[in-house]
Amino acid sequence: MIKATERFVRRVRRTRYAIRKNAERARAAAAGLRCIKPIHQPSSTREDFS
């Protein structure tokens, strides 16, 4: 039982960390795109993103 909870806590911490990093990266990328490109080109920015 204790091992299972430890594993669960570890997984939750890892996912929370990854989510926070992804959010920071997305925010930075959005800020960069907003600085570089006009906002009324969603298709081109989406292609550059992927």
Find the largest Cα–Cα distance for the chain.
54
Q: Report the helix count and the strand count for the chain, using DSSP H and E.
A: 2, 0
pLDDT at 49: 52
Ordered by start, the domain boundaries in the chain are 2-49
Rounded Cα–Cα distance for residues 42 and 7 (Å): 41
pTM above 0.75, yes or no: no
Confidence of residue 34 (pLDDT cuts 50, 70, 90): low
The Cβ of residue 37 has, within 10 Å, a number of other Cβ atoms equal to 13
Rounded Cα–Cα distance for residues 32 and 39 (Å): 11
Question: Read out DSSP for 18-32?
Answer: HHHHHHHHHHHHHHH
